[in-house]
Amino acid sequence: MSAVSQRLSRASGWGRRIDQGIHGRRAAFNLRHIAPLVPRGARVLDLGAGDGLLAGQLARHNRCQVLGVDVEDRALSDVPLLLYDGARLPLADDAVDVSICVAVLHHCDNLEAVLGELRRVTRGKLLLIEDRFESWLDRLCVIAVHHYLRAVESMPFRRAGFGDVATWRTRLAAAGFRSAEVIPLPGRAVPWIPVRNVLYVAEPA
């Protein structure tokens, strides 16, 4: 049984179709915003690759080499996946041209350490997507959705891991990245999930 079949076998009927739709929509949405920032042929790290669909689409679209890294195997694609301990990335210094990290850091026990590792292995740019967390409504929607994910998909999160634009700029600077370009993403990755995202584009200082 393929990785895709193993993952989706947890659901059947309408549940499986919903699962496929959510994962596919998220990957396509994020690809639209990330792909123009990744040079063709680049060596790319997808930290917290999750289902791997974004990594697979990016590899095909940009004809680049993408390596997924995560603490567990949730892969739905055939992109190479390295499992790691959540602390030190199994890569050499300046190993990749571009690192991408999509809605991952708020799940980490020590996001500052993970950002430090991203800085160590990235020689080009970091593309970081995190949930918008500016208003009370943003906060309400983000926290509610993540309580649901924790209950349904066993995905723990740290409330302190969220942050507004100023907080993320401070975190990135502390990790050794230059002041980040901030790009609020239009629309929602999945229309019926009330969370919006922000893309931070940073380079090593």
Q: What is the dihedral of CA 162, 85, 51, 34, to 10 degrees?
A: 60
Q: What is the mean pLDDT of the chain?
A: 89
DSSP 8-state symbol, 44:
E
Which tokens is 67 given? Answer: 């390596």
CA distances for 6 relative to 12, 136, 147, 166, angstroms: 12, 39, 25, 41
pLDDT of 14 > 80? The answer is no
pLDDT band at 19 (very low <50, low <70, confident <90, very high): low
- A 10 A CB-CB count for 138 gives 17
The predicted-structure confidence for 101-136, as pLDDT tens digits, reads as follows: 999 999 999 999 999 999 999 999 999 999 999 999
Q: Which two tokens stand for residue 70?
A: 């995560």
Summarised one tens digit per residue, pLDDT across range 187-204 is: 998 888 899 999 999 999
Averaged over 20-42, what is the pLDDT?
90
pLDDT tens-digit map of 165-190: 999 999 999 999 998 899 999 999 88
Q: What contacts 127, CB < 8 A, 6 or more positions away?
A: 34, 37, 38, 98, 99, 100, 101, 199, 200, 201
Question: What pLDDT is recorded for position 7?
Answer: 44
Cβ contact 168:175 at 8 Å = no
Nearest to 122 by CA among 142, 97, 156, 147: 97
What are the Cα distances from residue 158, in Å, to 9, 19, 192?
29, 24, 23
Q: Band of the pLDDT at 4, cuts 50, 70, 90?
A: very low
Distance CA 83, CA 71 (A): 5
For residues 16, 18, 19, 20, the Cα torsion angle rounded to the nearest 10 degrees is 90
Q: Where are the domains of the chain?
A: 3-202
* Cβ-based neighbours of 134, under 8 Å, separated by 6 or more: 164, 165
Q: Which fold has domain 3-202?
A: Rossmann fold (3.40.50)
pLDDT value of position 10 = 43
Task: Write down the pTM of the prediction.
Answer: 0.89
Least reliable range by pLDDT among 17-26, 33-42, 87-96, 113-122:
17-26
Percent of the chain at pLDDT above 90? 72
For residue 45, report the phi and psi dihedrals to the nearest 5 degrees. Answer: -105, 130
**Residue 18: per-residue pLDDT:** 57
